[in-house]
Amino acid sequence: QLVEIAKALVTNAKIILLDEPTASITGSETTKLFDVIRKLRAQGTAVLFVSHKLEEVYEICDTVTVLRDGVSVLESKSLSEFKQGEIVDLMVGRHLAERKNVIRKIDRTQTPVIELKNLSTALGHKNINLSLYPGEVLGMYGLVGAGRSELARSILGLHAVTAGEIMLNGNQIKIKNFRDALHKFRIGYVTENRKQEGLFLDFPVRKNISVTILSKILQKLSIINPQKEDDIASKYVDRLGIKVVDNNQLALTLSGGNQQKVSVSKWLAAETKILVIDEPTVGVDVRTKASFHELITQLADEGLSIILISSDLAEMVAIADRILVMRRYELVGDLDNSKDYQNMSRSIMNSIQAS
């Protein structure tokens, strides 16, 4: 990405188009890029900066144009005239509240669906204790390198557990591998890297959705029943509002948001009871992010228990019922988001800094 940016900058062009230039570079690299953009602007170069990251738009841009569904809904207006929330409303097409008005009530007197007791892993987690309750969205927040994803993958049998217990509905279990997690214990995993780990990009949508339930769609001689496969795919395409030409469309050709919905669909098809979702809205626009937040809340309302891993603090505060804060492979905070969510962002950062 840096090489591509450098190629654009050395051409001495009078107009430079930067399309999501910070999508795969670090924060320090982004700072350096913005310094270069400011110098180019001072020299008279016009820069067209395309991004869905509003904080970056406000930091570097003078004017703003908003597109929604291919149509311009705001053209070349001074950015200083608009609050960030107003831009979000234009992008989404309706008012997007930071958090739903009704606080979800989670009954924590019930037996947890999954509980970790003094869990340690080969990756460095020590004596981790946590509980996930029926219908709860349990957030895991932390800075890069905090060990959130690694802890989740250890629970799923993808990394070794060296000590402690994993309890499922009050009973101790051993998860040897991810096959155990899915087929024995009904735990699904929407991976952070959907393109390399979450989808078969060169396969159609119907096969990506049905891959977790092959035993249900096989007919004689272990041949897949195409009608059953298509019916199941259609059910989740409709339920999640996945935008496809038909179920034979290749996953590769879908937008990032629709690819993510396909990833979720295959675990719903497998009737998972617990779903781990890692960075669900990275690389998607504000409107898609809003629809994902609604989907996660809807699934929890229907009884699915969800572990949500995210580095997006606003996202975490918006949809998690309870937030675990991690730092250097340790849990340093367990915050109830139903009690004081107005100050939750500050509480989370205080937990990280205090540790």
* Domain residue extents for the chain: 2-92, 114-354
| CATH code for the part of the protein at 2-92 | 3.40.50.300
pLDDT exceeds 60 at position 274: yes
Q: Which pTM value belongs to this model?
A: 0.75
Given its phi and psi angles, is residue 190 left (phi above 0), alpha (psi -120 to 50 degrees) or beta?
beta
User: Mean pLDDT, to the nearest integer, of 9-21?
Assistant: 86
342 has a pLDDT exceeding 70: no
At 282, is the pLDDT very low, low, confident or very high (cuts 50, 70, 90)? confident
Q: How far apart are CA 277 and CA 256, in angstroms?
A: 15
CB 146 within 8 A of CB 327: yes
Per-residue b or e along 3-20, where b marks 16 or more CB atoms closer than 10 Å to that residue's CB: eebeeebeeeeeebebee
Do 2-92 and 114-354 come out as alike in CATH topology? yes
Average pLDDT score over the chain: 89
Q: Is the pLDDT of residue 96 over 70?
A: no
Band of residue 240 on the pLDDT scale cut at 50, 70, 90: very high
* Cα dihedral 246→252→253→257 (10° resolution): 90
CA–CA distance, 136 with 108 (Å, rounded to integer): 9
Q: Does domain 114-354 have CATH number 3.90.1300.10?
A: no
**Which of 2-11, 38-47, 65-74, 330-339 is most confident?**
38-47
Residue 37, token pair as written in the block? 């953009």
Q: What is the structure's pLDDT at 115? A: 98
Confidence of residue 251 (pLDDT cuts 50, 70, 90): very high
